[in-house]
Amino acid sequence: MPSFEKYFEDSSDVCDVCLAPLDDPETLQTAEAMGVVLTFCSPQCRDEFLKEPEKYLDSEEELE
C-alpha cells in the first residue's frame, strides 16, 4: 500500500523540497500554493519551490 497519506502526515516535519528534517524552527519557511501549505528548511528551498511549484505539488504521480 502506498504511503501517500503518511507522506502528507510527515510533510510538516520535513522540507518539501530537499526532504531534510525541519529541526530548526528559526530557519523554517512556509509557502502556500493551491491551498496547500508547504514547509521548507531554508529560503533557498522555498525559492526552488516557487520556481516550479507544480513539480512539488504533483507528488501523487511521483510517489505512486
- State the residues that interact with Zn ion by CB under 5 A: 15, 17-18, 20, 41, 45
Which runs of consecutive H residues, i.e. helices, occur in 11-63?
A: 43-51, 53-57, 59-63
Shortest separation between residue 1's beta carbon and Zn ion, angstroms = 27
Shortest separation between residue 11's beta carbon and Zn ion, angstroms = 12
For residue 40, the number of C-alpha atoms closer than 13 Å in the C-beta half-sphere is 16
Kindly tell me which of 2 and 25 has the beta carbon lying closer to Zn ion. 25
Kindly tell me which of 20 and 37 has the beta carbon lying closer to Zn ion. 20
Cell digits for 62? 511521483
